[in-house]
Amino acid sequence: MSYTSQTVLVSGANRGIGAATVRELLKTDVKKIYAGARRLDSLPDFGDSRVVPLQLDITDQASVDAAAKIAADTDILLNNAGTAVFANFIESPIELINGDMDVNYYGTLRIIRAFTPQFTARKSGTIANVISVVGLTSAPPMGGYSASKAALQSLTQSLRATLKGSGIKVLGIYPGPIDTDLAKDIPMDKATPEHAAQHIVAGIAAGETYIFPDPVALQIGHLWATDGKTLDTALAGEA
């Protein structure tokens, strides 16, 4: 797929992977990019008239509905907006766990439900969900986040089956540790947002169903595909 004449909506475009992906898309011949953010004043100046700022709070149904009307010409929906806290299931306040689930799962579900009818009517479109490698197997220190991303993984799989034959592509993106604000407390080597964005943009263009956009993600993705049990026990500290 070429980005020529394509309009892309990137949620969570104000920082991290989202902002880097907007910049990477601008290197292509993309027609338009809706840069979604809860607060418009948090968006960087991308310096290109193809970028259209879009107020979008995926936890607010009214905001999602308004964005769907404004951005009705969207061809590629890149669901990047997300949040992450270090919360375990035994000791952490339930509000923290609910917060991750409301944004990462229910928020993404809201925007998918708002845009899918438009794609269905046109018999074309791409839905690309930024999940995480911990959506494939849990990282116990981030149990709440892992669960929300596992729910998003399940949603992505179900949506792909539901929309089969509709002309709509459903892609999953599985970053490992990326050097962003969300991952600042993770004590391991991280890829840059720019590195991840390069592979995300290329993967969407290639129509890859599973996109692993950094070295750690590639390693985990390979182990998940070939020996999921070993991966589960390793991350659980049982190996």
pLDDT digits (tens, 9 = 90+) for 72-84: 999 999 999 999 8
| pLDDT (0 to 100) of residue 42 | 98
Query: pLDDT band at 235, cuts 50/70/90?
Result: low
Higher pLDDT, 236 or 63: 63
Catalytic entry in 3, 34, 105, 145? 145
The yes or no reply on domain 7-235 and CATH 3.90.1200.10 is: no
In which region does residue 47 sit, left (phi positive, over 0), alpha (psi from -120 to 50) or beta (all else)? left
Neighbours of 19 (CB within 10 A): 24
Higher pLDDT, 87 or 185: 87
Q: Cα 6 from chain centroid? A: 19
CB 50 within 8 A of CB 28: no
Greatest alpha-carbon pair distance for the chain in Å reads 52
**Half-sphere exposure (CA, 13 Å, Cβ side) for 229?**
0
218-229 pLDDT, tens digit per residue, is 999 998 999 877
106 is catalytic: no
| pLDDT (0 to 100) of residue 239 | 47
Q: What is the H or E stretch that residue 43 is in?
A: none
1-17 pLDDT, tens digit per residue, is 899 999 999 999 999 99
Catalytic entry in 149, 169, 174, 190? 149
φ and ψ at residue 70, rounded to 5 degrees: -65, -45
Mean pLDDT value across the chain: 93
Distance CA 129, CA 78 (A): 6
Q: For residue 23, give the nearest of 3, 53, 44 by alpha carbon.
A: 44
Domain ranges of the chain: 7-235
Query: pLDDT band at 236, cuts 50/70/90?
Result: low
Percent of the chain exceeding pLDDT 90 equals 77
31 is catalytic: no
**Half-sphere exposure (CA, 13 Å, Cβ side) for 111?**
35
Q: What is the H or E stretch that residue 110 is in?
A: helix 108-122
101-123 pLDDT, tens digit per residue, is 999 999 999 999 999 999 999 99
